[in-house]
Amino acid sequence: MFVTVLLLLVTLCARGGHGEEKVEAQRPGHVSVVIVGGTGDLARKYLWQGFFELYVSQVGSGNTFSFYAGGLSPADQATPVLFEILKEAFCLKHISEERCAVLKEQFLRLAQYRQLKTLEDYQELAKHIEKQLQEEGMAEAGRLFYLSVPAFAYADIADKINNSCRPTSGAWLRVVLEKPFGHDLRSAQVLASQLGNSLKDEEMYRIDHYLGKQVVSKILPFRIENKKFLDPIWNKYHIERVEIVLKETLDVKGRIAFYNQYGVIRDVLQNHMTEVMTLLTMQLPLNLSSSEEVAHNKLQILSSLLPLGKKQAVIGQYQAYQTEVQQELNKTKDHISVTPTFAAVLAHVDEAQYDGVPILLISGKMLDERVGYARILFKNDIFCLQNHNNIHCKPKQIVFYFGHGSLKYPAILVSKNLFKPALMDEWKEVTEHTDVSVLGLPISDYYVQTPTVQREAYAELIAHIFAGRKNSFISTENLLASWGLWTPLLNGLTSSFPRIYPGGLDNEDLLDIRLKGNEISYNSEVVIISPDQMGGTPTNNFQVMQGKFRSADMVSAWAEELVERLAADLQEAAEAAVHEGGVFHLALSGGSTPLALFHRLVLHHFSFPWRNTHVWMVDERCVPLTELESNFHSLHDHLLQHVRIPYYNIHPMPVQLNQRLCVEEDRAALLYEKEISKLVNGSRFHFVLLGVGYDGHTASLFPGTKVDGHEESLVALTESPVKPHQRMSLTFSAINQAHQVSLLVMGKGKHELITQLSRMKDNPNKWPVTGVRPANGRLVWYIDYDALLG
C-alpha cells in the first residue's frame, strides 16, 4: 500500500490587513500533487524543492499529502531518476539537521512516479487516488496538477484532467501552467479557448515566476505602506522616468530551438517586465486581498498604454548568435536569423497621472552583468552650487532590486533624499554596508530593506497556489490584453534587422539609447558589420515575393518568411478541406528540408485541424521505422508527437512486413495503395509536400527511374543511388492527382539546380521533378532567396 504520513493538526495562520493578501481558510484534508513533466529540467531545479518546502511548512496543519511525478517514460525507467532528484531536496536554515532528515525521509515515502501518456493512464491515477482515500479513510482537500510541459500539450492534458481526474465532494482542483502562453494574440486566444473548454478560470494558475520574487511581490505592499510619502510624488510632476531592466551575461546555447522562435521580447518583456510595469503604475487596490480587484486594476493600466510601434523599440543580437543557430538548428552558413537577443522598448501610459512619463523596458543576453531591477527616478529641483556631493543634489530614486549585480541580494532601496520607508513585515533594515554602489549612488546613501529569509520564487508561488491566492498569477483577460499590446510591435519588427553587438564588456556604448518624445533610438550611428560576421549580406528587404517558375506559381522569400508563408498556406488548405468535406489528407516528404516547417506548425499553428487530418508518407527508406534514417521517425520526432492528431490518422509506409524490408513478394506497396484508395476520396490527396534533391529527384523517384512502369500504380518500390538503396515512394500517378502539390526548395546549394530547371524542358527520366504536373490541381514552388538568387 502507498504510504501516507499524517501531519499533526495545527492552525495555519493567514495574515490579513491592507498590506498583505488575505488567505481564505481551507478545510484540512488530503492533497494530491501531480507534476506532469516531473523528471524534467524545471522540476529538477525548482519544483520539487518548492513542494518539499510546502510539505515542511504544512507539517502539523492537519493536511496529508501524496506526490506524483508524471511523464511519458515507463515507470521502471523514470522512478530512479525521480528519486535522484528528490534526494537533492534541502531544508531552510531554521530547521535542524535531525529534523530535516526525518522530514526528507517522509517526503520521499510520499512520492512516486506514474506514466501519464494516455487517457487511460490519467483514469488509473484517479482510481489510485480514490482507492487511497477510501482505504485510509481520508477526506479530500484538493488536487494540484503542475504542467511542466511544452505549451502545445496543455490543451490535451487539461482535457484528460477534466475527463478523468476531477475531485468530488467539494474538493478543489488547481492546474498550474508555465509560460509561454501563446506566441502572439491569436495563438493565446486559441490556447485560452482550448483550456476554457476543460478548466474554469479560477482553476487555472498561469505562473510567472517573476511574481514570486520577493521584491516583486512586495511592490504593492510597499506602495501601500508608504502611501503618505508616495501619493504626492507618484505622478508626472515628480517622476522623471521608470526603468525596468533585466540584464544577463549568458548566451542562449542549448535553448536555440525555443529561443529562435520567441526572442527576447516574447521571452521576458511581454510577461515578466510587463507584470512589473503594471505593479508600479496601477491604481492601488482598496483591498489587496481581492485578486479580482488587483487583476482589474492591472487590466486598466494595460488598456491605458499607448500602442507600441517600431519607433518605440530598438533591437539587437549578439554576434555569436548566428553561429549558434546554424549549429543547433543544422542551418547552412548562409542562413540569417533576425531573432533579437536584446530589446529596449519605450512605453507611455495614457492617463493624466503619468502623462509624458517614459517607461523603459530593457533586457538582453550577453550583456556586461547579471542584474534585474526596477527604478523610479524622480526629478530633482535642488541645485548645489559648490558641494555637488551633498545628498540633496544626488539622484532621487526608489530601486526595487531583484537580485544579483553588485548588491548580490534582493532589496528595496530608497535614496535618503526622499524619505525613510516603513519597515515591512518579514523584512529587515540593512545598516551595515559594504563599499558598493547601486545605480550611481553609494549604498550608504540609501535606506535598504531586504527579506529576513530569502526564498526562491517557485517556492513562494507554490505556497500561494496551495493557499488559493491568485494575486500572483495571470488571468485570461490580462494575458490577452498583454498580447494585444505586444503583438502589433512584434509584427512590425519582423522585417527589422537587429543591431549586432559583440557581447559582454566589449559592447561599450553600442546599446546606449536615446529618448526623443515618444520615440526611442540607439544613441550611436548604425554599426556596419561585415557580411562574414553575419553569415551573409544584411538586407532590410524581407518581403514575400510571388511570381512564376516553370509556368507554375512561385512564392519566394528569405527562409524564415518562406516557411511562415508555407505553414499559413498549408493551414488555409486544411481548413478549407475540413470545411468542405470534414477531412484533410496531407502527404509529406522525407529529408531535412521540411523540418523548419514542422517546427513552425508545432510552435505557431495551435489551431491547425489535426483531429481531422490524415498524414501520409510521400516516400520512405527501407529501414525499420524506429531507426534514425527512417523518414517516419523524423516526422514523428519533429511533428507528430507534438500535435493532437489521432493515432489512427497516421499512415506510415509498411516497409517492414514479415520481419523483412521491402521484399517484392510481400506486396507492401500494393497494401499502401489499397489503404490510400480506401480512405482518400478518388485517391486525390488534398496537399502533397515535396522537396527536390541536387540531382533533380523528388519523393524517391530518382534519375533513371522507369516511370513508365508505374503509370497505373499509386505506390512503388524504387532504387536510390545512395544508401539505403531500397525505397518506397508515391508515383507520379498519385502525386499528379492531388488538389495541390508544393515543392519546397531552400539553400544556396540549390541555386545551380534552380537555374538549370528554369531553362530545361520536361524530362522526368533525367530530371524527375519535371514530371510533377498536377492534372486537375495546382502546383506551387516555394523557393527561398538563397536558392533563387544565389
Residue 272 catalytic?
Answer: yes
* Interatomic CA distance for residues 398 and 410, integer angstroms: 14
Q: What is the distance between the terminal CA atoms of the chain, rounded to a whole angstrom?
A: 68
- Sign for the CA dihedral angle at 126, 129, 132, 133 comes to negative
- The span from the CA of 427 to the CA of 453, in Å, is 8
Q: Measure the CA–CA gap between 563 and 784, rounded to whole angstroms.
A: 9
Q: Which residue has the cell 532601496?
A: 413
Q: Which of 30, 183, 272, 348 is catalytic?
A: 272
Q: For 380-441, give the DSSP string.
A: -----SS-TTSGGGSPEEEEEEEEETTTBS-EEEEETTT-PPPPPTTEEEE-S--S-EETTE
CA 566 – CA 571 distance, rounded (Å): 9
Cα–Cα distances in angstroms (integers) from residue 223 to residues 214, 401, 763, in the given order: 15, 15, 76
**Cβ atoms of residues 661 and 713 within 8 Å:** no
Distance CA 164, CA 158 (A): 10
What would the grid cell of residue 414 be? 530608497
Query: What is the Cα–Cα distance from 770 to 761, expressed in whole angstroms?
Result: 8
- Report the C-alpha gap between 783 and 485 in whole angstroms: 34
Contacts of 528 (CB under 8 A, 6+ apart): none
d(CA 126, CA 166): 8
Closest residue by Cα to residue 264 from 320, 344, 371: 344
Q: What is the 3-state secondary structure (H, E, C) of 540-571?
A: CCCCCEEEEECCEEEEEECHHHHHHHHHHHHH
Q: What whole-number distance in Å separates Cα of residue 153 and Cα of residue 147?
A: 9
Q: Indicate which residues carry an active-site annotation.
A: 272
